[in-house]
Amino acid sequence: MTDQLFSDEAIQQYLSDRDVVVLSMLTATGAPLATPMWFVHDEQQMVMVSVDGLAKIRNLERDQRVSVVAEGGERGSINGLVLSGQVTFIEGDDRQLWGERFGQKYSPEVQGLWGGPEMPDNRRVFGFAPRVSSAFGL
């Protein structure tokens, strides 16, 4: 698959079947940093949640450019998706909306991390409108 939009049905379905993606960003020294992340998405954006003050949040505040890899398959049959974009931090009512979607997707695990159904105030919500860099085996 090439030249596909993030809203493409095959891409949306592929992401719906995934629980974890790998988020890559740049550190203060310019070195790449990749970390596994839970996520939610719709046809326009991918959204993630993290604890405020962590290195990944400081990195994203400094440089909003990211790449995300969602992969699957096995030896001889790899499938996946590489996305890129620039994150923005989500506040207000939109923050709560995405927090609810996050809680629904990752229940009951996220409630254990959050100490209940409501997203704690010390969580930062960020998202980006992905550009599909590569899609293969979908």
pLDDT at 138: 87
Count CB-CB contacts under 10 A for residue 113.
13
115 falls within a domain: yes
Position 45 scores a pLDDT of: 96
Q: Which range of residues forms the domain containing residue 41?
A: 9-94+107-136
CATH code for the domain in which residue 15 is found? 2.30.110.10
In a domain, 100, yes or no: no
Number of domains in the chain: 1
Note whether residue 1 is domain-resident: no
Structure tokens at 25: 């960003």
Contacts of 37 (CB under 8 A, 6+ apart): 20, 21, 22, 23, 48, 50
**111 lies in some domain:** yes
* Tens digits of pLDDT across the chain (138 residues): 445 799 999 999 999 999 999 999 999 999 999 999 999 999 999 999 999 999 999 999 999 999 999 999 888 888 999 999 999 999 999 999 999 999 999 999 999 999 998 999 999 999 999 999 999 988
Task: Write down the pLDDT at residue 1.
Answer: 40
- The answer to whether residue 99 sits within a structural domain is no
Contact 67, 87 (CB under 8 A): no
pTM over 0.85: yes
